[in-house]
Amino acid sequence: MSDRSSATGSRAAGPTGAGATPPAAQPQRFAFSATVIGEVDAGVMLVLIDNPPVNAASASVRTGLLAAIGRAAADPDVVAVVLSGTGKTFVGGADIREFNLPPEPPLLPEVVAAIEDCAKPIVAALNGVALGGGLEIALACHARLAAPGAKLGLPEVKLGLVPGAGGTQRLPRLVGVAAAIDLIGSGRIVDAGTAERLGIVDRIVASDLVGAATATVRALVGTVPRRTSDLPVAADDPAEIDAAAAKVLARSRGQQAPAEAVRLVRAAADVPFADAVADERATFLALRNSDEAAALRHVFFAERAAAKVYGLDDVAALPVATIGIVGLGLMGSGIAVAALDGGFAVVGVETSAAAAEAGRARIAGLLDKSVASGRSSAADRDARLARLTISDGLAALAGIDLVIEAVFDDLDVKTRLFQSLQGVVRPNAVLATNTSYLDPDRIAAAVDRPERVVGLHFFSPANVMRLAEIVRCAKTAPTVLATAISVARAMGKLPIVCGVTEGFIGNRVFSAYRRAGEFLIEDGASPYEVDAAIEAFGLAMGPFAVSDLAGLEIAWALRKRQAATRDASERYVDIADRLCEAGRFGQRSGKGWYAYVDGKRQPDPEVLMIVAAARAAKGVASRPVAAEEIVERLIAAMADEGRMLVAAGIAARSGDIDLVMINGYGFPAHKGGPMFIAGRAQEAAPPH
């Protein structure tokens, strides 16, 4: 059992203590299991869940809770129960590690039913996070109080599941069907204030939560406990329900769990509770074994693994309050917004007063957009703008903690900038480069203290995309690496650490994928068939549509640089070069792999002619390529490149490759990523 703070003070007496006669006026203590303890004081049993790190509802917790409720129900000296958790969490949900194993009794629905059916009142004191099965436990209690910092939600769909212990039926009885569809279908987590407004919790208690819960439960003694499952489901406006359902379904294209969640919540309105929870349970168990759930579990654990960075165990990040951003173009202004969102003060620098002013306008425009879409308030925007200063000179960066350069991706430009910066910023300020393709070690070599240089590679639009590749250069100091990670996290990003290689993880894997797409075209598929196949698989855009959006020039320039050293035995497809030679540089130039008519992307016969000519020049006999083969080859190409990056130590683990592709390149999370798919295929393959 952990030694985290506990309202019981000293520890439980152990199972043998349960029967011992306590000294008068001394609270009676119990250990119901290794993770659930109880203390009876003047008739109220405080049951505490203590299962670090997140009080997951493991078999031990379920056993302990069932024993605690059984004891409370049977003990004439107990009149009521308060249920709470230790540390920052009430209960972080079912134990996800158990999902790969057969369910172990007692099952959560049994525990939840015992709580709700208890004739003595039980009040949940939500001291912190109450998610998934944790919220389902709370929903079965007869009242719920919450600390101001508590966070509540049923995020099961994010694991490819639906709630499996009554959540789809009890939540609509508290908040209505439309709101429950929104919450369960999206897996959204809400703060205590929102939970109170919606009716999930009865009251927020600013201090002495357990004391308040004890007073509340005492007041309920002698009354018939309010069972959530007995409450009627409010008659919501059908149009509102349909709109909530449509929103969930539109956002979860290709996934099973959100659609099942919507179906189950809708049923709450007209199916008897017992039948509906039986359906919920069966659906939960079926989904638990689905590919979607396995993929999303992989993503969940991959994210936690990515946070553990080799060599940083006891390394503290430097404090960062102010961030300088040099270059306020599209990328720089996106980074500035992410930094402002993260609570930092930002100094944006451009080469002229006019460019700096344009940068400010771009940043303000992005913030306005966020207000217009309802993602933030006008007050949030104003507070962010108050933390922004702009300048046309590097001198403004004198007091800065960390500088991110987002200037033109040219080695000379970047090295000259870093050399100028070292005369301006403090000696321990971190210098981060946002280069996509250049060698950051060469940039670092240009400054006196290369250990303070790190790569901080954002993805466009930087205020939206969750991925940030953190590039550990040859000489990056551990504190500097830790600082870059912590800043990226504060900006709401998912930092993935990688080593130095051209294009880092994402662009290397993307290049391999794009190359595979070009091989497919040369073999006989059209670019439009390639894009359509991978889009049907679940990527938001195929490789050719993405190339058009990014512009074809940079990759063309890169290929030209590489031409002299390219292995002549390697397969090389020159169709993209032919497109550039024909002036087709992508969407901005009005044509690329596609034609853009009034901004609308459409197939272009001229491209098919260029492709046919390229095939003919190589004497390739074109053949039809099925969508299945297209998807298989594209994913295999990503996975092969990913394996090479892991073998070379550029990526720490294969899960990092999946996270990069999911969070930077639109690979669907519910498919787990290319490495996950390749790994499953290997497991399924018969042994040689």
Nearer to ligand 3H9, 2 or 562 (CB): 2
d(CA 268, CA 276): 7
Q: Indicate which single residue of 85, 87, 121, 163 sits in contact with ligand 3H9 (rule: CB under 6 A).
A: 163
How remote is the C-alpha of 251 from its chain's centroid? 15
Sign of CA dihedral 546, 552, 555, 559: positive
Closest by alpha carbon to 465, among 486, 435, 492, 438? 492
Could you tell me the two tokens for 184? 């369960």
Could you tell me the two tokens for 606? 């001229």
87 touches ligand 3H9 (CB under 6 A)? no
93 touches ligand 3H9 (CB under 6 A)? yes
DSSP-H helix ranges across 122-237? 133-140, 167-175, 177-186, 192-198, 209-220
Residues found in the chain: 688
Residues 39-58 that bind ligand 3H9 (CB under 6 A): 53-54, 56
> Residue 567 CB: number of other CB atoms within 10 A?
7
Q: Indicate which single residue of 39, 136, 405, 548 sits in contact with ligand 3H9 (rule: CB under 6 A).
A: 136
Q: Minimum CB separation from ligand 3H9 for residue 159, in Å? A: 5
Q: Is 433 helix (H, G, I), strand (E, B) or coil?
A: strand
DSSP H or E stretch at residue 661: helix 654-665
Nearer to ligand 3H9, 168 or 216 (CB): 168
Q: Indicate which single residue of 129, 635, 638, 678 sits in contact with ligand 3H9 (rule: CB under 6 A).
A: 129
Closest by alpha carbon to 496, among 644, 672, 645? 645
- Cα→Cα distances 568→558, 562, 564, 565, 572, Å: 17, 12, 10, 9, 8
Nearer to ligand 3H9, 251 or 560 (CB): 251
Q: Indicate which single residue of 44, 45, 165, 462 sits in contact with ligand 3H9 (rule: CB under 6 A).
A: 165
CA atoms within 13 A on the CB side of 520: 32
Packing angle between helix 378-386 and helix 330-341, nearest 10 degrees? Answer: 110
Q: Minimum CB separation from ligand 3H9 for residue 153, in Å? A: 8
Give the interface segment with ligand 3H9, choosing from 152-160, 465-473, 492-500, 507-515 (CB under 6 A).
Answer: 152-160
Q: Minimum CB separation from ligand 3H9 for residue 663, in Å? A: 16
- 39, 116, 156, 518: the catalytic one is 156
Q: Minimum CB separation from ligand 3H9 for residue 614, in Å? A: 49
d(CA 58, CA 52): 11
Closest by alpha carbon to 560, among 545, 581, 536, 540? 581
Q: Minimum CB separation from ligand 3H9 for residue 156, in Å? A: 5
d(CA 252, CA 375): 19
580 touches ligand 3H9 (CB under 6 A)? no
DSSP H or E stretch at residue 36: strand 36-41
92 touches ligand 3H9 (CB under 6 A)? yes
Q: Minimum CB separation from ligand 3H9 for residue 233, in Å? A: 20
Q: What residue has token string 């709101």?
A: 179
Q: What residue has token string 């040689």?
A: 688
Q: Indicate which single residue of 37, 46, 81, 108 sits in contact with ligand 3H9 (rule: CB under 6 A).
A: 108
Q: Minimum CB separation from ligand 3H9 for residue 276, in Å? A: 15
Note if 136 is an active site residue: yes
Could you tell me the two tokens for 242? 């349909």
Nearer to ligand 3H9, 159 or 171 (CB): 159
Give the interface segment with ligand 3H9, choosing from 90-98, 224-232, 403-411, 613-621 (CB under 6 A).
Answer: 90-98
Nearer to ligand 3H9, 251 or 304 (CB): 304
- 39, 136, 280, 522: the catalytic one is 136
- Please spell the DSSP secondary structure of 210-258, one letter per residue: HHHHHHHHHHHTTSPP--GGGSPPP---HHHHHHHHHHHHHHTTT-SHH
How many residues sit close enough to ligand 3H9 to count as binding (CB under 6 A)? 25
Torsion, CA 497, CA 500, CA 505, CA 510, rounded to 10: 160
Q: Indicate which single residue of 37, 111, 159, 277 sits in contact with ligand 3H9 (rule: CB under 6 A).
A: 159
Give the interface segment with ligand 3H9, choosing from 162-170, 244-252, 426-434, 625-633 (CB under 6 A).
Answer: 162-170
Nearer to ligand 3H9, 76 or 105 (CB): 105
Q: Indicate which single residue of 39, 50, 116, 156 sits in contact with ligand 3H9 (rule: CB under 6 A).
A: 156
Nearer to ligand 3H9, 387 or 489 (CB): 489
164 touches ligand 3H9 (CB under 6 A)? yes
Give the interface segment with ligand 3H9, choosing from 128-136, 201-209, 386-394, 673-681 (CB under 6 A).
Answer: 128-136
Q: Indicate which single residue of 38, 87, 121, 133 sits in contact with ligand 3H9 (rule: CB under 6 A).
A: 133
Q: Minimum CB separation from ligand 3H9 for residue 49, in Å? A: 13
Q: What residue has token string 């929103």?
A: 247
Give the interface segment with ligand 3H9, choosing from 114-122, 164-172, 178-186, 633-641 (CB under 6 A).
Answer: 164-172
Closest by alpha carbon to 71, among 104, 42, 37, 105? 37
Q: Minimum CB separation from ligand 3H9 for residue 5, in Å? A: 16
Q: Minimum CB separation from ligand 3H9 for residue 419, in Å? A: 39
Q: Indicate which single residue of 49, 81, 83, 94 sits in contact with ligand 3H9 (rule: CB under 6 A).
A: 94
Q: Indicate which single residue of 203, 304, 416, 560 sits in contact with ligand 3H9 (rule: CB under 6 A).
A: 304
440 touches ligand 3H9 (CB under 6 A)? no
Could you tell me the two tokens for 211? 């004391």
280 touches ligand 3H9 (CB under 6 A)? no
Q: Is 491 helix (H, G, I), strand (E, B) or coil?
A: coil
- Cα→Cα distances 273→181, 231, 321, 551, Å: 17, 10, 52, 55
Q: Is 584 helix (H, G, I), strand (E, B) or coil?
A: coil
132 touches ligand 3H9 (CB under 6 A)? yes
- Cα→Cα distances 607→55, 147, 221, 512, 573, Å: 58, 61, 78, 22, 14
Packing angle between helix 674-684 and helix 627-647, nearest 10 degrees? Answer: 100
Q: Indicate which single residue of 48, 49, 68, 96 sits in contact with ligand 3H9 (rule: CB under 6 A).
A: 96
Q: Minimum CB separation from ligand 3H9 for residue 99, in Å? A: 8
| Strand order across the beta sheet in which 345-349 lies | 388-391, 345-349, 322-326, 402-405, 430-433, 453-458, 467-471, 494-498
Q: Minimum CB separation from ligand 3H9 for residue 107, in Å? A: 7
CA atoms within 13 A on the CB side of 420: 13
Give the interface segment with ligand 3H9, choosing from 19-27, 85-93, 397-405, 594-602 (CB under 6 A).
Answer: 85-93
Active centre residues (catalytic): 136, 156
Contact set with ligand 3H9 (CB under 6 A):
53-54, 56, 89, 92-97, 108, 129, 131-133, 136, 155-156, 159, 161, 163-165, 167, 304
